[in-house]
Amino acid sequence: MHQAALLGGMIRDAPHYGWAVAQAPHDWATMADAVQNHVRSLNWGHRVQLQDRKVKYFNIKASFVNAHTVCGVSKGGEETLLSAEHIVIATGGRPRYPTHIEGALEYGITSDDLFWLKESPGKTLVVGASYVALECAGLLTGLGLDTTIMIRSVPLRAFDQQMASLVTEHMASHGTRVLRGCAPERVEKLPDQQLRVTWVDLASDRRDVGTFDTVLWAIGRVPETSSLNLEKAGVHTNPVTGKILVDAQEATSVPHIYAIGDVAEGRPELTPTAIMAGRLLAQRLSGRTSDLMDYDNVPTTVFTPLEYGCVGLSEEAAVARHGEEHVEVYHAFYKPLEFTVPQRDASQCYIKMVCLREPPQLVLGLHFLGPNAGEVTQGFALGIKCRASYLQVMRTVGIHPTCAEEVAKLRISKRSGLDPTVTGC
Amino acid sequence: MVQNIRDMDELKAFLKAAGNKLVVIEFSAKWCGPCKRIYPVFHAMSVQYRSVMFATVDVDNARELAQTYHIKAVPTFQMFKQTKKVTLFSRIKRAICCYRSGSLSEPIFELCGADAKKLEEKIREFM
């Protein structure tokens, strides 16, 4: 859907490059159909792979009877008892509903529902400051829908805050209505089926009202552990988050029971991380390796209209860990070549590399805001994993013309106070 | 005409009814784009080639069947044909094979992907 939104932008750019393209409206149903079909094909592919590897697949809802026994119930109500030497819990998480807000459950939807809507969500209010909230609000805006995002305090709390600010700034200047410091109080359904939302401006304590076709809650995710009967197995969870406590081997409080992915406490909530952790766990259990999962320097990308890719520490985290005197931050604003001809606004296209100040200046974190951020960040993630230094980055020749080369061309430090807007070579 | 086959029993009956005719089975899915594109061509071929039997299997509705025939991608076309020659040796062989595998028919050819041209070529070759 993010790609569908980006294409809208490219259709607008096309005439500048000489294409006589008519500006066409977007048809939600066509896109939703394509997305849904793709998801179904992925699910089928997974089932085929399980069969291929002779994995027995039980389509049942499981819970613990004791530490070695699991009881599963099928859709038809049949119960199956299973016991095993090792048990791995990977039940993930689900979007959270703000149950304390009147009407939230009955009238709001979550990201789970967004991809399965047959009709356009229309005028939408996205509540939340997570990457899910920003990505959804961003793509809906890109598809031409009237979109508002309501953020209670700060966007992308767990990310570098300067970058989070730039991401949100870009959205605000490109058609998304951003309401900061507001919290919803009530959702009511009007006779014409629209939703009326009442919210409070936390600073002024003033109330405001708005009408929307859809309200999307993206306020965080909760682990799927409530129906597992973990107590029967003796598996401990964090009482606040509900997530399963694990050690470096992914083992829970019960030695032969493991937990990976979003359901485990303290792990990045990312799919590729869970997959690798699972793979390594399987290899350890079968005696092929003793390697543990490395949760450091995991790269990720937020697919907002202007994408934000990052790997390693945020500036704040680096300063907290090493002290400001020991950290050097190199940065630059740049203009993607593809923005020049159509005269796109590149004000938030920015790169920041956080390094240690002592030579060889180990790179602690890289933050890239711009088009194709995922592709750019993936390559540099390898360098950071190999403990690249700023010197090595400087010696890496750039590929021209790309946005990625700007990473290798970073010369201006924040400490120098010089203008990070680069014009020439 | 294209028959819809929903399970192993229906497939066995279909193959038996085919006798010595060539049988072409398309394994497809509702969410598969290439399947949608090739279906009209498949249907047209069923009208054109009267001496060939055509059928389709939905891999989501007939999961066990798709699994039995090791379908990894869609569309997949599998062709079946009973050997004409029946000798004492082939009778004994069939009896042993059927005893072991539970009379599972093996396809004589498999084509993965929506290549209408290749599909028609192979139909003409085997029919």
Poorest-pLDDT segment among A20-29, A190-199, A275-284: A20-29
Percent of chain B with pLDDT over 70: 83
- B98 catalytic? Reply is no
State which residue of chain B sits closest to A36, comparing Cα positions. Answer: B31
Query: Does B113 lie at the interface with A, CB-CB under 8 angstroms?
Result: no
pLDDT tier at B106 (50, 70, 90 boundaries)? confident
Note the pLDDT of residue A422.
Answer: 67
Catalytic residue check, B32: yes
Q: How confident is the model at residue B101 (pLDDT cuts 50, 70, 90)?
A: very low
Top residue of B27, B30, B31 to mutate, by most chain A CBs within 10 Å, is B31
Whether B93 is in a domain gets the answer no
CB A277 within 8 A of CB A293: yes
State the smallest CA–CA distance between residue A121 and chain B in angstroms: 23
* % of chain A beyond a pLDDT of 70: 99
Q: Which residue of B has its CA nearest to A50?
A: B67
| Confidence band for B100, pLDDT divided at 50, 70 and 90 | very low
CB burial class (10 A; 0-12, 13-18, 19+) of residue A224? Answer: middle
Extract the tokens encoding A38: 């793709």
Q: Which residues of B touch A32 (CB under 8 A)?
A: none
Average pLDDT for chain A: 96
pLDDT at B127: 87
**Contact A246/A264 with Cβ under 8 angstroms?**
yes
Q: What is the pLDDT of residues B70-88, one digit of tens each?
A: 999 999 999 999 865 545 6
Answer whether residue B119 is part of any domain: yes
Q: Which CATH number is B46's domain given?
A: 3.40.30.10
Q: Answer with the residue of higher pLDDT: A400 or B100.
A: A400
d(CA A383, CA A389): 9
Whether cis (ω within 30° of 0) applies to the bond prior to A401 is yes
Give the span between the Cα atoms of B32 and A34, in whole angstroms. 10
Q: Residue range A239-266: average pLDDT? A: 97
Q: How confident is the model at residue A42 (pLDDT cuts 50, 70, 90)?
A: very high
A44/chain B closest Cα distance in angstroms: 8
Is B97 part of any domain? no
pLDDT at A24: 85
CB-nearest to A41 from B32, B71, B72 is B32
* Residue range A60-87: mean pLDDT, rounded: 96
A86 and chain B in contact, CB less than 8 A: no
**How far is A110 from chain B, CA to nearest CA, in Å?**
24
> Looking at beta carbons, which residues of chain B come within 8 Å of A52?
72
ipTM: 0.80
Q: Does B71 touch chain A (CB under 8 A)?
A: yes
| pLDDT single digits (tens) A283-308 | 999 999 999 999 999 999 999 999 99
Q: Does B121 contact A at CB distance below 8 Å? A: no
* Contact between chains at B67 and A41 (C-beta distance less than 8 A): no
Q: How far apart are CA A150 and CA A164, in angstroms?
A: 15
Residue of A nearest to B71 (CA): A48
Task: Dig out the tokens for A317 from the structure.
Answer: 């985290």
Contacts of B61 in chain A (CB under 8 A): none
Place of tokens 């290749």: B118
B59 touches chain A (CB under 8 A): yes
Q: For residue B96, tell me if it sits in a domain.
A: no
List, as one string, the DSSP characters of A82-151.
EE-S-EEE---EEEPP-TTSBTHHHH-EEHHHHTT-SS---SEEEE--SHHHHHHHHHHHHTT--EEEEE
Give A95 to chain B, closest Cα distance, Å. 26
Token output for A380: 């540099």
- Mean pLDDT for A357-379 is 98
Residue A5, pLDDT score: 97
Residue among B31, B67, B72 whose CB faces A41 most closely: B31
Task: Give me the domain span that covers residue B76.
Answer: 2-88+102-126
Q: For residue B94, is it within any domain? A: no
Asked if the C-beta of A38 comes within 8 angstroms of chain B's C-beta atoms, the answer is: yes
Read off the pLDDT band of B89 (50, 70, 90). low
Listing from the earlier edge strand, what are the strands of the sheet with A69-73?
A61-66, A69-73, A79-83
Shortest Cα distance, chain A CAs vs residue B77, angstroms:
17
pLDDT in tens, A149-165: 999 999 999 999 999 99
From A46, which residue of chain B is nearest by alpha-carbon distance? B72
Q: Is residue B56 assigned to a domain?
A: yes
Query: Which run of H or E residues covers position B97?
Result: helix B88-101
The answer to whether residue A4 scores a pLDDT higher than 90 is: yes
Whether B103 has a pLDDT exceeding 60, the answer reads no
pLDDT band of A224, cuts 50, 70, 90:
confident
In the predicted structure, residue A425 carries a pLDDT above the cut 70: no
pTM as predicted: 0.91
Contact B68/A at CB under 8 A:
no
Evaluate if residue A424 carries a pLDDT over 70: no
Domain count, chain B: 1
**Tally of CB atoms within 10 A around A355:** 26
Of the pLDDT bands very low, low, confident and very high (cuts 50, 70, 90), residue A143 is very high
CA distance B123 to chain A (A): 27
Neighbours of B39 (CB within 10 A): 17
CA A253 to chain centre: 29
- The pLDDT of residue A371 is 98
- Selecting from B31, B33, B67 the residue whose C-beta is nearest the C-beta of A51 gives B67
Residue B10 placed within a domain: yes
Which pLDDT does position B104 carry in this prediction? 59
Mutation pick from A41, A44, A50 vs chain B, by most beta carbons of B within 10 Å, is: A44
pLDDT at B95: 63
- B30 shares contact with chain A (CB less than 8 Å): yes
- On chain A, the residues whose CB falls within 8 A of the CB of B31 are 36-38, 40-41, 44
Q: What is the mean pLDDT of residues A339-358?
A: 97
- Which tokens is A72 given? 């599963």
Asked if A37 lies within 8 A of B31 by C-beta distance, the reply is yes
